[in-house]
Structure 1
Amino acid sequence: MIQNTNQLSFNISSFTPNELDNMNYTGQAYVTGEGIQLTPIELNHTLYFQAGRATFRDPMQLWDNTTGNLTDFNTHFSFVIKSIDGQSYADGIAFFMAPFGSGIPSDTAGESLGLAKETELLNSTYHFVAVEFDTYMNSWDPPKDHVGIDVNSMKSVANTTWFSSIFAGRTNDAWISYNSTTKNLSVTFTGFKNNNTIEQQLSYVIDLRLYLPELVTFGFTSATGSLYEINNIKSWEFSSSLQVDSVSVPPKKGKNNKIVPSVISGGLVLCVLIAGVILFLLWKKKKVEVGNDPTGEKSMGGELEFGRGAIRFSFQDLYRATNGFVDKLGQGGFGQVYKGSLENTFIAVKRISKDSSQGIKEFISEVKIISQLHHKNLVKLIGWCHEKKEFLLVYELMPKGSLDKHLYNHNNLLRWPTRFKIAKGLASALFYLHEECEQCILHRDIKSSNVMLDTNFNAKLGDFGLARLVDHDKGSQTTMPAGTIGYMAPECVIAAKAGKESDVYSFGIVALELACGRKPFIPTSEASQVIIVDWVWELYERGRLFEAADPRIYGDHDGEQMEEMQRLLIIGLWCAHPDPNCRPLIRKVIQVLNFEDQVPILPERMTPIAPLVSAISH
Structure 2
Amino acid sequence: MSLLHLLLLLCLITSTTHAQSNTDFTFNGFQSTNLTLDGDANNNEGIIFLTNRTQLITGHAFYPNPIIFKKSTRESAISFSTSFVFGIIPENPLGGHGISFVIAPQPNLPGALPISYLGIFNTSSINHNDTRHVIAIEFDTVLSPELNDMNDNHVGIDIDSPISVMSMPAGYYLDENDPNPRNLTLISDKSRRVWIEYDGVKKQMNVTIASLEMKKPSKPLLSLYKDLSPYLNQIMYVGFAAATGTIFNRHYLLGWSFKVNGQAKELDLSLLPKTPTNGNKNMEQNKFLIIGMPSILGFVLLITIIAAVIYYVKRKKKFAEEMEDWELDYGPHRFKYKDLYFATNGFSDKQLLGRGGFGQVYRGIIPSSKVEIAVKRMSQDSWQGKREFVAEIVSMGRLRHRNLVQLIGYCRRKKELLLVYEYMPNGSLDKLLYNRQHTLNWSQRFLIIKGVASGLFYLHEGWEQVVIHRDVKASDVLLDSELNGKLGDFGLARLHAHGSDPHTTKVVGTLGYLAPEQMWTRKVTEATDVFSFGAFLLEVACGRRPVAMNEERFILIEWVFRFWLKGLIVNAVDQKIGGEVDFEEVELVMKLGLLCSNMNPMARPTMRQVVEYLERDVVMPELSSFGITISSLTFPHREEINGDLYPSTSTSTGKTTFDTSIMAESDLSGGR
Which bracket does the TM-score occupy, shorter chain normalised?
A: 0.5 to 0.7
Which residue is 1:591 aligned to? 612
Please tell me whether the aligned partners of residues 287 and 462 of structure 2 are also in contact (alpha carbons under 8 angstroms).
Answer: no
The yes-or-no answer on 1:323 pairing with 2:345 is yes
Please tell me whether the aligned partners of residues 579 and 607 of structure 1 are also in contact (alpha carbons under 8 angstroms).
Answer: no
State the identity as a percent: 39
Where 1:540 maps in the other structure, the secondary structure is: helix
Which residue is 1:485 aligned to? 511
Which residue is 1:567 aligned to? 588
1:79 and 1:498, CA in 2 relative to 1: closer, same or farther beyond 3 A? closer
Where 1:478 maps in the other structure, the secondary structure is: coil
Where 1:242 maps in the other structure, the secondary structure is: helix
Whichever residue aligns with residue 448 of structure 2, its letter is I
Give, in whole Å, the separation in 1 of the partners of 2:465 and 2:537: 26
Whichever residue aligns with residue 570 of structure 1, its letter is K
Whichever residue aligns with residue 473 of structure 1, its letter is G
Which residue is 1:542 aligned to? 566
Where 1:323 maps in the other structure, the secondary structure is: coil
Whichever residue aligns with residue 590 of structure 2, its letter is L
Give, in whole Å, the separation in 2 of the partners of 1:356 and 1:416: 37
Which residue is 2:296 aligned to? 242
Where 1:422 maps in the other structure, the secondary structure is: helix
1:588 and 1:302, CA in 2 relative to 1: closer, same or farther beyond 3 A? farther
Please tell me whether the aligned partners of residues 432 and 438 of structure 2 are also in contact (alpha carbons under 8 angstroms).
Answer: yes
Give, in whole Å, the separation in 2 of the partners of 1:492 and 1:585: 17
The yes-or-no answer on 1:57 pairing with 2:138 is no
- Deviation at 1:609? 6.7
- Deviation at 1:506? 0.6
Whichever residue aligns with residue 495 of structure 1, its letter is T
Residue 449 of structure 2 is aligned with which of 423, 432, 440? Answer: 423
Where 2:540 maps in the other structure, the secondary structure is: helix
Pairing 1:549-564 to 2, within 5 Å after superposition: 549-553=573-577, 556-558=579-581, 561-564=582-585
Please tell me whether the aligned partners of residues 394 and 409 of structure 2 are also in contact (alpha carbons under 8 angstroms).
Answer: no
Whichever residue aligns with residue 418 of structure 1, its letter is Q
1:29 and 1:204, CA in 2 relative to 1: closer, same or farther beyond 3 A? closer
- Deviation at 1:242? 2.0
- Deviation at 1:301? 3.9
Give, in whole Å, the separation in 2 of the partners of 1:42 and 1:361: 57
Please tell me whether the aligned partners of residues 78 and 171 of structure 1 are also in contact (alpha carbons under 8 angstroms).
Answer: no
Please tell me whether the aligned partners of residues 287 and 464 of structure 2 are also in contact (alpha carbons under 8 angstroms).
Answer: no
Give, in whole Å, the separation in 1 of the partners of 2:563 and 2:404: 34
Give, in whole Å, the separation in 1 of the partners of 2:248 and 2:597: 36
Which residue is 1:340 aligned to? 364
Structure 2: segments with no counterpart, 5+ residues:
1-35, 51-58, 66-107, 118-141, 145-151, 154-185, 192-244, 251-270, 301-320, 638-672
TM-score, length basis structure 2: 0.50
Give, in whole Å, the separation in 2 of the partners of 1:356 and 1:500: 24
Which residue is 1:516 aligned to? 542
Please tell me whether the aligned partners of residues 481 and 493 of structure 1 are also in contact (alpha carbons under 8 angstroms).
Answer: yes
Give, in whole Å, the separation in 2 of the partners of 1:55 and 1:577: 60
- Deviation at 1:364? 2.3
1:72 and 1:474, CA in 2 relative to 1: closer, same or farther beyond 3 A? farther
1:552 and 1:53, CA in 2 relative to 1: closer, same or farther beyond 3 A? farther
- Deviation at 1:590? 0.6
1:500 and 1:516, CA in 2 relative to 1: closer, same or farther beyond 3 A? same
- Deviation at 1:387? 2.4
Whichever residue aligns with residue 447 of structure 2, its letter is K
- Deviation at 1:478? 2.8
Which piece of structure 1 moves more, 358-367 or 318-327?
Answer: 358-367
Please tell me whether the aligned partners of residues 334 and 359 of structure 1 are also in contact (alpha carbons under 8 angstroms).
Answer: no
- Deviation at 1:344? 1.9
1:349 and 1:203, CA in 2 relative to 1: closer, same or farther beyond 3 A? closer
Please tell me whether the aligned partners of residues 519 and 532 of structure 1 are also in contact (alpha carbons under 8 angstroms).
Answer: yes
1:308 and 1:464, CA in 2 relative to 1: closer, same or farther beyond 3 A? farther
Where 2:509 maps in the other structure, the secondary structure is: coil
Give, in whole Å, the separation in 1 of the partners of 2:595 and 2:579: 25
- Deviation at 1:531? 1.7
Residue 200 of structure 1 is aligned with which of 281, 289, 294? Answer: 281
Which residue is 2:104 aligned to? none
Where 2:440 maps in the other structure, the secondary structure is: coil
1:484 and 1:41, CA in 2 relative to 1: closer, same or farther beyond 3 A? same
Give, in whole Å, the separation in 1 of the partners of 2:464 and 2:442: 35
The yes-or-no answer on 1:495 pairing with 2:521 is yes
Give, in whole Å, the separation in 2 of the partners of 1:80 and 1:458: 12
Which residue is 1:578 aligned to? 599
Give, in whole Å, the separation in 2 of the partners of 1:611 and 1:332: 25
Whichever residue aligns with residue 423 of structure 2, its letter is L
Q: Deviations over 1:121-178 (max 9, x none)?
A: xxxxxxx989898xxxxxxxxxxxxxxxxxxxxxxxxxxxxxxxxx9833347xxxxx
Whichever residue aligns with residue 536 of structure 2, its letter is V
Count the aligned residue pairs: 388
Please tell me whether the aligned partners of residues 597 and 633 of structure 2 are also in contact (alpha carbons under 8 angstroms).
Answer: no
Pairing 1:190-589 to 2, within 5 Å after superposition: 190=278, 200-203=281-284, 240-242=294-296, 301-307=324-330, 310=333, 312-326=334-348, 327-342=351-366, 343-358=369-384, 364=390, 367-475=393-501, 477-522=503-548, 527-553=551-577, 556-558=579-581, 561-589=582-610
1:552 and 1:497, CA in 2 relative to 1: closer, same or farther beyond 3 A? same
1:319 and 1:447, CA in 2 relative to 1: closer, same or farther beyond 3 A? same
Where 1:444 maps in the other structure, the secondary structure is: coil
1:609 and 1:549, CA in 2 relative to 1: closer, same or farther beyond 3 A? closer
Whichever residue aligns with residue 571 of structure 1, its letter is L
Where 1:385 maps in the other structure, the secondary structure is: strand
Whichever residue aligns with residue 376 of structure 2, its letter is K
- Deviation at 1:571? 1.1
1:56 and 1:550, CA in 2 relative to 1: closer, same or farther beyond 3 A? farther
Q: Deviations over 1:182-235 (max 9, x none)?
A: xxxxxxxx36xxxxxxx8215465988xxxxxxxxxxxxxxxxxxxxxxxxxxx
Q: Deviations over 1:382-431 (max 9, x none)?
A: 23211243321121111111111111111120111110011011011111
Whichever residue aligns with residue 619 of structure 2, its letter is Q
Where 2:560 maps in the other structure, the secondary structure is: helix
Whichever residue aligns with residue 422 of structure 2, its letter is E
Please tell me whether the aligned partners of residues 338 and 349 of structure 1 are also in contact (alpha carbons under 8 angstroms).
Answer: yes
Whichever residue aligns with residue 594 of structure 2, its letter is L
Give, in whole Å, the separation in 1 of the partners of 2:190 and 2:62: 12
Give, in whole Å, the separation in 2 of the partners of 1:354 and 1:557: 48
> What is the root-mean-square deviation in Å for CA atoms of aligned residues?
4.5
Give, in whole Å, the separation in 2 of the partners of 1:501 and 1:359: 26
Give, in whole Å, the separation in 1 of the partners of 2:336 and 2:405: 22
Where 1:460 maps in the other structure, the secondary structure is: strand
Please tell me whether the aligned partners of residues 385 and 392 of structure 1 are also in contact (alpha carbons under 8 angstroms).
Answer: yes
Give, in whole Å, the separation in 1 of the partners of 2:111 and 2:629: 57
- Deviation at 1:304? 4.3
1:35 and 1:551, CA in 2 relative to 1: closer, same or farther beyond 3 A? same
Where 1:336 maps in the other structure, the secondary structure is: strand
- Deviation at 1:567? 0.8
Where 1:319 maps in the other structure, the secondary structure is: helix
1:494 and 1:540, CA in 2 relative to 1: closer, same or farther beyond 3 A? farther
1:130 and 1:348, CA in 2 relative to 1: closer, same or farther beyond 3 A? closer
